[in-house]
A and B are shown apart, each in its own frame.
Chain A
């Protein structure tokens, strides 16, 4: 819980907090309107060299040979860089937080896995000379069969895209082929649901198309360091990645940046920094590596494609009693950040709704497409779109107004979410109410009076008995009642622990009486009572946790 300590440094600060609600001039605005803001490319250097890259014309091919002799002799060419010149020519971005295996070369050596993959870098006096020399590099390929569809890629016998992950799926904790979410018993709930609706949703990759393309200028400094003008959105992340790939001490890199000409997630991949710095090391001169617009589209990561299959069980009165989602994320040929997006997706699968039985399976799949990365809510945006379209369809199916339908199923403060975190500061009900008011959408009196602050918690805070899979995984019994423990979702049960019996489906408790929507029938009188809710957790301040610990399912490696 966040605590605001006003007693610390009180005399050094104005605590009136009177900024919100007023216009406040941005500190960088004067630079923007005078043209004085310096983006990475707005730096002049004497003797600046330009780096351009030979890219794969194939989606998938073995490289038989690379001949750079003509390019090396071309006018203005100062240096040709190949894969073997890169000190650590295999990396994955999240290795900095110990998540995933190194799987992507800076320059491809034996195989290319997507169209646009870099193979050889040319450094020359001018961009035109570098581009001319790029055309002189002779690469001979043996084209390989390709796979572009996530579900095709997961089939046995599919073409292996990325040999680091021979199953074409990212391996979570080095052994799981996907991320799993289990909460309650969806199968039993489907059997008792009045309606079951299964739909498939998918979205194409989306290019960020920031007006500034990715790029870097790197130059030797006088103190045996390199100055790096970078477009990176995560400057220190990029510094760490560059230091790792080039096997340099990170204090020999002086990164300057933070002024980004549009990022939206498309500048977190350190696509240009390592090669630009390597070029500066090898030539002893400033090197500029900027993607053209076509390269930006072809090689710089987009938001990846996603496919979500959603199956919901709903009662005639509008309560969603079960939700099952199978999600496929197209990572493209390399991991970059998709593995992390999938983790976010799983936490978001029920959406902002309290559903008593949820089952989710999400796969991070490799295909011969451009590797995908972050973009504005990635991992959540696609599944959110799918869920909300599904909500409209469900509302239509049971004949309830879609706004009322959302209020009826909305999570409330104190509810247990399917990934076993208690919902706090929920406001979906209030958001729907405000939207309805703004667009003059008639809501029932009950829906207007509903509140996220009441009606939640209690039995809705309980974790239902959860079915385990064939290997006895999912859910630790000792966490069943207690909210905010960090539960390793896939930890095996202790051997002696009896597997929880498959529970009889029980309808969720009716929404809190005062705010209940009276038009909906109350729950059957003969429903078995739910287990008594856990005693309220005392509001003692939680021990401080490092950010990495809070997201331990991502940041720690389990075996």
Chain B
């Protein structure tokens, strides 16, 4: 089948790739562009480890077709840090022991970033809701929720 050209921004850089019509954004980012931060877990949108941001909105990379991302801005966990400086969410995840095996972490971080970008001061319930689509099988949800709340608080302090 004929391949199709697609251009988008990935973590701030312009990228152009040829994709299969049915290729998923997750496949394009990982095997096409070599950014292995988003993971494959279920391929059916139930586990959230493939979560990336498309124009700031959390999207499941395994259910998003690459051809629909023409001209969009894509963010993954690889682009969270500003050079050597960690994003507050990353620092909070480290501080609060919010990862065990680490496989769900890139998706969790992106779901959390989408939340904090649109709601800088979320309640605990809103945090739980925001990561409700992200499965952690090491069952470390409490430290993850605490880390996200701490990051929000820290960003609030910095803004004040």
Interfacial residues, chain A to chain B (CB-CB below 8 A): 23, 25-26, 28-39, 41-44, 48, 126, 128, 208-213, 259-264, 290, 292-293
What are 18 residue pairs bridging A and B, where the CB atoms are less than 8 Å apart in the complex? A23-B97, A26-B97, A28-B102, A31-B102, A32-B102, A35-B36, A35-B37, A35-B76, A35-B109, A36-B37, A41-B39, A211-B47, A211-B101, A261-B101, A261-B103, A263-B101, A293-B41, A293-B44
Point out the residues of chain B lying under 8 angstroms from A37, CB to CB. 102
Interfacial residues, chain B to chain A (CB-CB below 8 A): 20, 22, 30-31, 34-44, 47, 49, 76-78, 80-81, 86, 89-90, 93-94, 97, 99, 101-106, 109, 135-138
Point out the residues of chain B lying under 8 angstroms from A36, CB to CB. 37, 78
Q: How far is the CB of B66 from chain A (nearest CB, A)?
A: 14
CA distance A260 to B20 in the complex (A): 30
Point out the residues of chain A lying under 8 angstroms from B43, CB to CB. 292-293
Contact B34 A211 (CB under 8 A): no
Which secondary structure dominates chain B's binding surface?
Answer: loop
Point out the residues of chain B lying under 8 angstroms from A264, CB to CB. 137
Q: How far is the CB of A536 from chain B (nearest CB, A)?
A: 44
Look across to chain A and name the residue whose beta carbon is closest to the beta carbon of B138: A262
CA distance A36 to B86 in the complex (A): 13
Point out the residues of chain B lying under 8 angstroms from A28, CB to CB. 102
Contact B39 A212 (CB under 8 A): yes
Look across to chain B and name the residue whose beta carbon is closest to the beta carbon of A38: B36
Taking a contact as CB atoms closer than 8 A, the residue among B36, B93, B103, B109 that contacts A262 in the complex is B103
> Would A29 and B94 be within 8 Å (CB), given that A37-B102, A213-B41 are in contact?
yes
CA distance A125 to B49 in the complex (A): 25
Look across to chain B and name the residue whose beta carbon is closest to the beta carbon of A260: B101
Look across to chain B and name the residue whose beta carbon is closest to the beta carbon of A293: B42
CA distance A264 to B103 in the complex (A): 14
> Would A33 and B109 be within 8 Å (CB), given that A211-B137, A262-B103 are in contact?
yes
Q: How far is the CB of B140 from chain A (nearest CB, A)?
A: 11
> Would A211 and B136 be within 8 Å (CB), given that A32-B102, A38-B36 are in contact?
yes
Point out the residues of chain A lying under 8 angstroms from B86, CB to CB. 33-34
Look across to chain B and name the residue whose beta carbon is closest to the beta carbon of A292: B43
Contact B103 A212 (CB under 8 A): yes
Contact A34 B49 (CB under 8 A): no
CA distance A42 to B44 in the complex (A): 20
Q: How far is the CB of A268 from chain B (nearest CB, A)?
A: 15
Q: How far is the CB of B116 from chain A (nearest CB, A)?
A: 15
Taking a contact as CB atoms closer than 8 A, the residue among B36, B41, B104 that contacts A42 in the complex is B36
CA distance A128 to B40 in the complex (A): 16
Query: In the complex, which of the residues A34, A37, A39, A44 has the most CB atoms of chain B within 10 Å of its own CB atom?
Result: A34
Taking a contact as CB atoms closer than 8 A, the residue among A25, A126, A211 that contacts B104 in the complex is A211
Point out the residues of chain B lying under 8 angstroms from A29, CB to CB. 93-94, 97, 99, 102
Contact A211 B78 (CB under 8 A): no
Q: How far is the CB of A532 from chain B (nearest CB, A)?
A: 51
Contact B40 A41 (CB under 8 A): yes
CA distance A451 to B3 in the complex (A): 73
Point out the residues of chain A lying under 8 angstroms from B44, CB to CB. 293
Point out the residues of chain B lying under 8 angstroms from A34, CB to CB. 77-78, 80-81, 86, 90
Look across to chain B and name the residue whose beta carbon is closest to the beta carbon of A212: B103
Look across to chain A and name the residue whose beta carbon is closest to the beta carbon of B134: A211
Point out the residues of chain B lying under 8 angstroms from A210, CB to CB. 101, 103, 137
Contact A33 B93 (CB under 8 A): yes
Point out the residues of chain B lying under 8 angstroms from A290, CB to CB. 40
Taking a contact as CB atoms closer than 8 A, the residue among A26, A39, A128, A211 that contacts B20 in the complex is A128
Taking a contact as CB atoms closer than 8 A, the residue among B47, B76, B103, B138 that contacts A39 in the complex is B103
Point out the residues of chain A lying under 8 angstroms from B109, CB to CB. 33, 35
Contact B94 A25 (CB under 8 A): yes
Q: How far is the CB of B23 from chain A (nearest CB, A)?
A: 9
Point out the residues of chain A lying under 8 angstroms from B31, CB to CB. 44, 48
Point out the residues of chain A lying under 8 angstroms from B135, CB to CB. 211
Q: How far is the CB of A51 from chain B (nearest CB, A)?
A: 15
CA distance A36 to B77 in the complex (A): 9
Point out the residues of chain A lying under 8 angstroms from B30, CB to CB. 42
CA distance A331 to B146 in the complex (A): 41
Contact B80 A211 (CB under 8 A): no
Taking a contact as CB atoms closer than 8 A, the residue among A32, A41, A126 that contacts B105 in the complex is A32
Q: How far is the CB of A39 from chain B (nearest CB, A)?
A: 7
Point out the residues of chain B lying under 8 angstroms from A211, CB to CB. 39, 41, 47, 49, 101, 103-104, 135-137
Q: How far is the CB of B141 from chain A (nearest CB, A)?
A: 13
CA distance A39 to B104 in the complex (A): 12
CA distance A44 to B20 in the complex (A): 19
CA distance A36 to B84 in the complex (A): 13
Contact B94 A33 (CB under 8 A): yes
Taking a contact as CB atoms closer than 8 A, the residue among A32, A35, A43, A44 that contacts B78 in the complex is A35
Taking a contact as CB atoms closer than 8 A, the residue among A23, A32, A43, A292 that contacts B99 in the complex is A32
Q: How far is the CB of B84 from chain A (nearest CB, A)?
A: 10
Contact A33 B105 (CB under 8 A): yes
CA distance A35 to B105 in the complex (A): 8
- For the complex of A and B, the 3 pairs showing the least CB-CB separation, nearest first, are A35-B37, A261-B103, A32-B102
CA distance A39 to B49 in the complex (A): 13
Q: How far is the CB of A266 from chain B (nearest CB, A)?
A: 10
Query: In the complex, which of the residues B43, B136, B137 has the most CB atoms of chain A within 10 Å of its own CB atom?
Result: B137
Q: How far is the CB of A299 from chain B (nearest CB, A)?
A: 15
Q: How far is the CB of A134 from chain B (nearest CB, A)?
A: 16
Q: How far is the CB of A64 from chain B (nearest CB, A)?
A: 33
CA distance A210 to B93 in the complex (A): 21
Look across to chain B and name the residue whose beta carbon is closest to the beta carbon of A296: B42
Query: In the complex, which of the residues A33, A39, A209 has the most CB atoms of chain B within 10 Å of its own CB atom?
Result: A33
Point out the residues of chain A lying under 8 angstroms from B89, CB to CB. 33
Point out the residues of chain B lying under 8 angstroms from A26, CB to CB. 97
Q: How far is the CB of B13 from chain A (nearest CB, A)?
A: 15
CA distance A215 to B153 in the complex (A): 40
> Would A35 and B94 be within 8 Å (CB), given that A128-B22, A293-B41 are in contact?
no
CA distance A126 to B106 in the complex (A): 26
Look across to chain A and name the residue whose beta carbon is closest to the beta carbon of B27: A127
List 20 other contacts, CB 8 Å, given A35-B106, A210-B137: A25-B94, A29-B94, A29-B97, A33-B99, A34-B78, A42-B36, A43-B36, A44-B34, A208-B137, A209-B137, A211-B41, A211-B136, A211-B137, A212-B49, A213-B40, A213-B41, A261-B101, A262-B101, A263-B101, A293-B42
CA distance A420 to B103 in the complex (A): 43
Q: How far is the CB of A462 from chain B (nearest CB, A)?
A: 44
